[in-house]
Amino acid sequence: MDSAIRKEMLFHLTGKRAPDALDAIEELELRPALLARYRDLTRLRYDFPVVLVDAGPDGTFVRSLSEIVDEMLRKVAPRGVDGEGLRKHVLAVEREIRRLVAGGASGSLSSLWERAVREGAVGEGTALARYLADAGASLGVDGEVVDCDASMPRRLFTHAWRVAQERKARRLRSELSRLIVKLNDALRADFVKSEAGSRPESLKAALGDRHQGLFDFEAMSRLVSRATHGAPLSDARRNRIERVLATLRSQRFFAPAVGGSAARPDSLAFEFAFESAGEVLAAFRERLPSMIELTKAMAIAELEVDGRYSEAAHDGFFATFDEGAIGPEDLARFPDYLVCLKGGRVAADVPLMELLSSGVPVKVLVEVDDVLEDASLGKGQFAFGARNVQLASMALGLTDTYVLQSSSSNLLRMRQAIGRGLAAAGASLFSVFSPARGARGLPVYLVAAAALQSRAFPAFVYDPSAGPDLADRFSLQDNPDPEADWTVADFEYADAGMQRVKERLSFTFVDFLACDPRHSKHFARLPCAAWGDDLVPVADWLSQPDTAGSGRVPYLLAVDTENALQKVVVDERAILAARRCRETWHRLQELGGVHSSHAERLLAREKAVWEQRQVAEAETRAPAAAPAATVEPAATTPAAAAAEEAEPARSPDEAYIETMRCSSCNECTQINDKMFAYNANKQAYIADISAGTFRQLVEAAESCQLGIIHPGKPRNPREPGLEELLERARAFA
Amino acid sequence: MTTATQCLVHMHEEHHKLEDYQGGVPRWCNGCGDNAILAAVQRLCRDEDLRPEKTVFVSGIGCSSRLPHYMKTYGFHGIHGRALPIAEGVKMSRPDLNVFVNTGDGDCCSIGAAHWIHAIRYNMNLTMMLHDNHVYGLTKKQVSPTSPIGLKSNTTPRGSYLDALNPLTVTLGVQNVSFVAQVVDWIPEILYDVISAAFHHKGFSFVRVIQRCPEFLPKMFEPWLHDPQKTLLLSHENGLKISPALGRIYRNQLEHDPSDIDRAREIASQEDPIPVGILYRNPEVPCYEDIRNAGQLRTPEMIRAGFESELDKFTVWPQGPVPTQVSLTDERG
């Protein structure tokens, strides 16, 4: 082993770099090779910036700028050459907006559009300026434009939460309005029917100003008073309705609709966004009595509106109505609480798990800004921000909590899952990796995307309402290549002979680590002259279980600021961290049903049993014999047999009616309603054979148009005219 | 409804017996098929535990239209031919009510024909029973649109001149038809099953009940009464299921998929044997009251929002974005 290789191995195993053989990467501004083409994000069309829109009919609360512009172009720019010019200019405006936002500009889409058109040096008053202004008016949506920066997750989630709450508020306001109107109608109807309501002045007031001169209200009052009225409302009922109305009108859980009556200061709606879990718990406890009162009032109101309130049955129940009577469906009608936490504070916020498991309808956003913090035990193994990275996994153990984990770069693609989480009943936890700043010239978006791609902060969703088991509830589908250990992408470069080379490169945890300057010490650049066969790509190295003593070292492919390829040796500690990251990813895959070890073992066992059975059957199969005769009992169909069994054995002399076929025509009951009666289905049967004569049986049989009455034989041999009656009865035997 | 209310309602639910739905004593003739229909709807109300105060029977004029008087529910005995528009008005203003329509071959197919056509098209969630006894009975025997050709009556002493109108083919030919069935009053088991299926169908359920008139056409259906082979039972897993006992008597059966409208039209055209069962059912047709958001409460906020929205159309705004128009459907969430 030559000395160069020994120095590489020394660095790999110990992290100690020989300066004459390996270069430190701190000053080199290297980035992983797969990130080479993303130098200037403002020149690319991708998910950001996003526009926080008012909710559409499908509940969308966020859209990407590119998506909005594409939709607008479909409307205003004709296909083909004619529209190409406008399309080019519109896309230039979009690029300008992206540049402005990346530079820190803020505002609504409409205002940024105007600014971008202006600053794009389009002459005012020109046809192009008018076209672009019209295009801006055709955008169809407006809202705040937000780039992928440290503040984006909080702004996005707060906006989405407000949209979800407004939808909830509309539903509850509609319900409350209905109950208030119906209860008022009941009081009004009672007043109208009362003596006071029949007075001339009341009738005059009810008519309004316009046509009063046309009526004699004294005469009207006399007429109206003569009509009989139903019983007035009892005092108890009136008081109950008035109390309930007062509670419904004074609720503070939702603000009145826009344009509604102005609220007094003391009746302003409660605030539901807080900065800590402790504050949420305190607010919930404080408002619980009001919640109980409102739920009780709504229950009473619904019963009253439906006419089902019974004082004897319900007064006692409502007298002791407390929080025990409020179920999850009741809680779900009230606004959700929102609390936004920074990852560093989560550990200090002890009540967080208590809050998530309490059943309080709360939406918690935890912004994790670092997944690579070192262990507090000093140099050695990484802790990798275990407390924050593992928070979402810990919350899975709560089973009833909606959990979503993602990096901030992926939030647009997970907007539907975010919407579902915000609409879910009970608690929801959103754990988002949101880097505080970029690194090594990488913007925040790329750092966040690298965390997702490298499995350092994978995305997953756990939705308890999706079904009874993990297969329904847990999903990894928002990760790239969820079935693979690492994501893989194509990478093209020109070799020393300027020939194009295309490779498939994996983006591993080590690539993510290389993006963070704090961990530069785990990497060392190898000069080109030292590149040899002893170097193994990191992804291949990680896939080998035992690499000790192989005489080779792992390397990472990177690019410098000139986009020249570099190979960077990786030390063992970084490799160990990558292996742990992969193990964690494997655990998540198992939860998501990917490479489930239990399923694979069961499948292997079943396959072995099946194969054994196949072999056994092949050995015991006799030469073809005559096919066995089917020994099916021939005969009546089972239904017919059952039907025959169901019919009771009858004496041929007994009178009976085929009750099931009776059409309730009253012919027989008109003859003798003691002998013939209707059963619970209003079909005739012989109730009391002794209550009538054989003659009546025969007459009924003859009257019955369906012929289902069978007179049988007479019970009284001395009944007059029996011979004739028996002759007539023969037709109905 | 809140969870607490649901529990309370279930604790104190009233259950009604068949007699609880019986209003006045029917004055129909003995043997009249209207009695069978009345018994069937009373059974339905009992079995579905329909709240009497939430149930309405609407009728026009004729023997059939006496039915609301004999039900202890809300009822509306309307004017000739107008049962359907009245029922539609009830449904639009109170979509929460169970609305039944009882009409006869004259009330529906003659004077009420225009309303009948459009009621099918509107597909409102009503259950309509056409009591078809093929004659004007209340006015003592005149031909109706469904009377057979040659029937002698007060108005046609030489016999009627025209072939009978077929209510089934007419109904199946109207756009938006969603449920068409035919039954006979002398097979009460199927009469009940079909009316029950009609009630459960969301949309306009048209059930033609071929019924006897023992007073004016006493012998008309005798061949069908006494020869089960002249009745063709339509069965299917998505339609009517025939019990074994009934199947032994009525052996003339045909498996017919109610979703096949073309086949339904073919079957509807035949008159001997009489097809009995569900000819067509399509639950996907939208109901008019849903399309028009019937029953939406006109709260003060909604009315105010509507006024503001209309006045905003004529307002001259200063430079700047126009305030968001408030939709009247916003309150529905």
Is A164 in CB contact (< 8 Å) with chain B?
Answer: no
Is there a contact between B9 and A298 if contact means CB atoms under 8 Å apart? no
Say whether B3 and A321 touch across the interface (CB within 8 A). no
Contacts of A255 (CB under 8 A, 6+ apart): A169, A263, A268, A269
Work out the pLDDT band at B175, boundaries 50, 70, 90. very high
Q: Residues of A with CB below 8 A from B35's CB?
A: 663-666
**How do beta strands B142-143 and B135-136 pair?**
antiparallel
Interface list for A 287-326 with B (CB within 8 A): 295-296, 298-299, 302-303, 306-308, 310, 313-314, 317, 321, 325-326
Question: Complex ipTM, two decimals?
Answer: 0.77
- What's the whole-model pTM score? 0.74
Q: Which of A429, A435, A464, A461 is nearest to A448 (CA)?
A: A435
Beta pairing class for A428-433 and A474-475: unpaired
The minimum CA-CA distance between A666 and chain B, rounded to whole Å, is 5
- C-beta atoms of B331 and A174 within 8 A: yes
Choose among A166, A588, A156, A69: nearest CA to A414.
Answer: A156
pLDDT bracket for residue B331 (50, 70, 90): very low
Q: pLDDT value at position A82? A: 75
Task: Provide, as residue numbers in chain B, all residues whose Cβ is less than 8 Å from the Cβ of A56.
Answer: none
Nearest Cα to Cα of residue A392 among A353, A349, A431: A431
- Residue B186 has its nearest CB partner, among A173, A642, A706, at A706
Contact A431, A391 (CB under 8 A): yes
Which H/E stretch holds residue A145?
Answer: strand A143-146
Task: Identify the pLDDT of residue A638.
Answer: 38
Mutate to test the interface with A, among B222, B331, B332 (most CBs of A within 10 A): B331
Name residues whose C-beta falls within 8 Å of residue A649's C-beta, 6 or more positions apart in sequence: none
Does B41 score more than 80 pLDDT? Answer: yes
B17 CB-contact burial (10 Å; exposed 0-12 / middle 13-18 / buried 19+): exposed
Question: Which chain B residues are closer than 8 Å to A173 by Cβ?
Answer: 301, 331
Measured between alpha carbons, how far is A6 from B11 in angstroms, rounded to an integer? 84
B211 vs B296, which has greater pLDDT? B211
Q: Are A520 and A26 in contact (CB under 8 A)?
A: yes
Which residue is closest to A300 within chain B, CA to CA?
B5
Instruction: Provide the shortest C-alpha distance from residue B35 to chain A (in Å).
Output: 5
pLDDT digits (tens, 9 = 90+) for A119-168: 875 656 677 777 777 778 778 888 999 999 999 999 999 999 999 998 88
Full 3-state SS string of B50-75: CCHHHEEEEECCCCHHHHHHHECCEE
User: Which positions in chain A touch B332 (Cβ < 8 Å)?
Assistant: 170, 174
Work out the number of other CB atoms within 10 angstroms of the CB of residue B230: 15
pLDDT at A94: 92
For residue B305, give the nearest of A259, A680, A705 by CB distance: A259
* Minimal Cβ distance to A177: which of B2, B31, B301: B301
A664 → chain B, closest CA residue: B36
Per-residue pLDDT at A562:
85
| Shortest Cα–Cα distance, A627 to chain B (Å) | 34
Residue A594's contacts (CB-CB under 8 Å, 6 or more residues apart) are A476, A482, A483
CA dist A551 and A375 (Å) reads 30
Which residues of chain A fall below pLDDT 50?
259-266, 376-378, 385-386, 624-646
- The C-alpha of A110 sits at a distance from chain B's nearest C-alpha, in angstroms, of 10
For the segment B70-124, what is each residue's pLDDT rounded down to a tens digit? 999 999 999 999 999 999 999 999 999 999 999 999 999 999 999 999 999 999 9
Cβ distance of A302 and B1 shorter than 8 Å: yes
Alpha carbon of B147 to those of A462, B151, B168, B186, B219: distances in Å? Answer: 67, 7, 14, 19, 14
Cβ within 8 Å, pair A257-B331: yes
Which pair of tokens denotes residue A361?
Answer: 């309808």
> Shortest CB distance from B186 goes to which of A308, A317, A663?
A663
Backbone angles phi, psi at A616, to 5 degrees: -65, -40
Return the closest-CA partner of residue A505 out of A493, A487, A523, A532: A487
Nearest CA in chain A to B5: A299
Q: Give the per-residue pLDDT at A632.
A: 39
Q: In what order do the strands lie in the sheet with B253-255?
A: B74-77, B55-59, B98-104, B127-132, B205-210, B179-184, B274-281, B231-235, B253-255
Count how many pairs of residues, chain A against chain B, have C-beta atoms within 8 Å: 151
Is B5 in contact with A298 (Cβ distance < 8 A)?
A: yes
At A727, which amino acid appears?
A: E
Torsion of CA A709, A710, A715, A718, to 10 degrees: 90
* C-alpha neighbours within 13 Å on the C-beta side of residue A506: 20
User: What's the confidence (pLDDT) of residue A51?
Assistant: 94
Question: Taking CB atoms and an 8 Å cutoff, what residues of chain B touch A682?
Answer: 18, 39, 42-43
Q: Residue A310: enclosing H or E segment and its boundaries?
A: none
Among candidates A258, A299, A640 on the partner chain, residue whose Cβ is nearest the Cβ of B4: A299
Q: Are residues B12 and A313, on separate chains, in Cβ contact within 8 Å?
A: yes
Tens digit of each residue's pLDDT (9 = 90 or more) over B219-264: 999 999 889 999 999 999 999 999 999 999 999 999 999 999 999 9
| Chain A residues in contact with B31 (beta carbon < 8 A) | 665-667, 703, 705
- Which H or E element spans position A342? strand A337-342
